[in-house]
Structure formats: structure tokens, C-alpha cells
Amino acid sequence: MTFPDRRFTRAILARAFLIWLAIRTALVFLGMLPRAAGAAEALSPVAVLWLIAVCTVLTLFDLRRTGEELFLANLGVRVRTLTLLAVGPALMLELLVDVVVL
């Protein structure tokens, strides 16, 4: 599996993190999650999977919008590699939330 160089990788991971953060924050402000401790309990495992999927799709969409996906494709970086980078932060952070809160 071919990964982009560090600058591109860091930028993609950072964007995936920001998208996850934005969605989590939006959920809190929309009242779908309690603002206090125990927030992770408010999301069922299925909802968490949906959230990760949405984060991934939005990150991939942004990579396409900004042209990074095409540029990286010219360097031999496949969409599945970008998907891995996009899914990573949301997955790790959801696990972290689960471990810290529960």
C-alpha cells in the first residue's frame, strides 16, 4: 500500500480529525448527545459506525473537491489508501471516547 508523503498524510489526518470533531460538536449542540459525562453512551454502536462512515465520506469528498485525490492518484496512491487515512482518526477517537468515558 502506497502512502503519500508526510505533509499530505498529516494534512489528510488533520482534516479527518476536524471533520470528526465538527460532527461530534454538532451532535452535542443539536442536543443529540448529553453535554456532560457519559456522552459516548448516548451513541449506540450502530450510530458510532454511521458517524465514522459519514466522517470518512466527507473526508474523501473533500479530498476530491480540493484535487488532492487526483494529484495523489498520479503518484500511485489509491482511493483505498485515502479511505484508510480518512477512517483512521474517527475510528481511533471513537475508541478513545469509549475508553475514557466508560
Partner 1 sequence: MGRILAAESIGKRFGRRWVLESAGLWATPGRVSVLLGRNGSGKTTILRIAIGRLRPSYGIVIFAGERLDRPRLPDLAVRGLFYLPSDRFLCDRYSVREHLAALAHRFPAAAVDDALEMLRLAPFLDRRPPTLSGGEARRAEVALALARQPRCLLADEPFTGLMPTDVELLAEAFRRLAAAGCGLVLTGHEVRPLLAAADDVYWMTAGTTHLLGSPADARGHRQFQREYLCGREHGRS
> By the criterion CB under 8 A, which residues form the site for partner 1?
2, 4-5, 7-8, 11, 66-68, 70-79
Q: What is the closest distance, in whole angstroms, from the C-beta atom of residue 102 to partner 1 in the complex? A: 37
Q: What is the closest distance, in whole angstroms, from the C-beta atom of residue 96 to partner 1 in the complex? A: 27
Q: What is the closest distance, in whole angstroms, from the C-beta atom of residue 4 to partner 1 in the complex? A: 6
**Based on CB atoms, which residue is closest to partner 1, 14 or 49?**
14
Question: What 8-state DSSP symbol labels residue 28?
Answer: H
Element (H, E) at 52: helix 45-65
**Based on CB atoms, which residue is closest to partner 1, 78 or 95?**
78
Quote the Cα angle for 66-70-74, to 5°: 145
Three cell numbers, residue 96: 478513545
**Based on CB atoms, which residue is closest to partner 1, 38 or 78?**
78
Q: What is the closest distance, in whole angstroms, from the C-beta atom of residue 8 to partner 1 in the complex? A: 6
Cα(43)–Cα(40) distance, integer angstroms: 6
Three-class SS of residue 78?
coil
Which residue in the block uniquely carries the three cell numbers 498524510? Answer: 9
**Based on CB atoms, which residue is closest to partner 1, 63 or 93?**
63
